[in-house]
A and B are shown apart, each in its own frame.
Chain A
Amino acid sequence: EAGVTQSPTHLIKTRGQQATLRCSPISGHTSVYWYQQALGLGLQFLLWYDEGEERNRGNFPPRFSGRQFPNYSSELNVNALELEDSALYLCASSRDRATVYEQYFGPGTRLTVT
């Protein structure tokens, strides 16, 4: 069974630009979660999508947004990039809303803002 995949692996942007990160969940999983992990720090919850709808979001400004497509893949968009947005962005999936606690993570996208 293929795991969660994310693209790109690395992304370098300049301040003020927009970044788009992509995630494909494990086949059969309908829930997708996004986390931000700044260097050496813990995971901060960003967004949760299930069945195409945003179910919850963390304490991040509106310039962090995303969506989930009919095939359950997801996209995270970060507008007006700031230097402090540099981090590893992790996507995770779970089988459905009832299994929110057992999440499988992808390898992440390393975003660097210069």
Chain B
Amino acid sequence: GQQVMQIPQYQHVQEGEDFTTYCNSSTTLSNIQWYKQRPGGHPVFLIQLVKSGEVKKQKRLTFQFGEAKKNSSLHITATQTTDVGTYFCAGPENTDKLIFGTGTRLQVFP
């Protein structure tokens, strides 16, 4: 079946440093979603990317969808302690369910 992998699994950064997580799918995706889960919390929808090569920004977060629509990245500029959490990408399998990536846990040290 379809697999969605993320690297790295964990990332520890100093506050103010940048952070990037990469998402790779075994199949071409029609779209990709990103979610954030704070420690002890539940996943929160961040964004959806649909077009090949699409880039979207949300303040310090930059999301990119690969040209081949099999990979995506989330880049955070100048991390803050509020960025702590696990970031998941998710891609559709057929049209009726989401396959979540393995997640990248971000820890930010003040």
Contact = CB atoms under 8 A, between A and B. Distances in A.
B99 A105 contact: no
Contacts of B66: none
A100 B90 CA distance: 11
Bin chain A's interface residue count. Answer: 20 to 34
Given A45-B97, A48-B97, A58-B97, A102 B33 contact: yes
A12 interface: no
Contacts, number: 52
Interface stretch (B13-21, B40-48, B71-79): B40-48
Given A42-B88, A42-B103, A43-B88, A101 B98 contact: yes
Interface residues of B, number: 21
Decide if the interface of chain B is mainly helix, strand, loop or mixed. strand
Interface string B86-110: 0010101001111111110000000
B42 A105 contact: yes
Given A100-B95, A101-B33, A42 B44 contact: no
Contacts of A35: 100
Interface string A93-114: 0000100111111111000000
Interface of A: 33, 35, 42-45, 48, 55-56, 58, 90, 92, 97, 100-108
Interface of B: 31, 33, 35, 41-45, 48, 88, 90, 92, 95-103
